[in-house]
Amino acid sequence: MLRSSIAILAIAGALGAAQAQAPDPKNTLILETKDGPVTIRLRPDLAPKHVAQIKALTQKGFYDGIVFHRVIDGFMAQTGDPTGTGTGKSDLPNLPAEFTPTPYKVGSVGMARSSSPDSANSQFFICYEGCGPLTGQYTLFGEVVSGMEAVRKIKKGAAGSGQVTGPDKIVKMRLQSDAR
């Protein structure tokens, strides 16, 4: 009797965990690269204003064709600048920082900004390794849940600066709820 009760509790716990991890199409981005799709789970629980801005820009088609202008091997791939220079942004207002103690790790997606903590706008980066020191310094708003192999194939930039000549681009980016 005790064993069957434990087994039932274990099954119930597993089902609860599966439901908790169920994807939310309204908070899931599909970022298409030349090497395949990247699925990003958005985290409005960590950064509601940043998630809202990314979603608004995505729904306008802002990210379609935008290049990965700064890619540092072993660190991160940055995109979201319509000028491709690292200084551009959207026509939406800059956002106040939404820093959290949630650690940056492989696949974390964060907002790029200038030296001002409240300057994030449209640029974001996807972490390879080595992003841990960004924790609490840059707004974390998502995480790659599949397709990290496509992120790793994004053309790398020059040693040091990460500036990319002939950069790869976002082919298309959509919310999963809008992708058809």
36-64: pLDDT as tens digits: 999 999 999 999 999 999 999 999 999 99
For residue 86, the model assigns a pLDDT of 94
Tokens linked to 170: 């976002």
Backbone phi, psi, residue 60, to 5°: -85, -5
For residue 172, the model assigns a pLDDT of 98
Q: Could you tell me the residue ranges of all domains in the chain?
A: 24-175
Q: Give the CATH number of domain 24-175; options: 3.40.1190.20, 3.40.50.620, 3.40.50.300, 2.40.100.10.
A: 2.40.100.10
pLDDT in tens, the chain (180 residues): 545 444 444 444 544 444 445 679 999 999 999 999 999 999 999 999 999 999 999 999 999 999 999 999 999 999 999 999 999 999 999 999 999 999 999 999 999 999 999 999 999 999 999 899 999 999 999 999 999 999 999 999 999 899 999 999 999 999 999 865
pTM above 0.85, yes or no: yes
For residue 21, the model assigns a pLDDT of 57
> Token match 């194939």: residue?
153
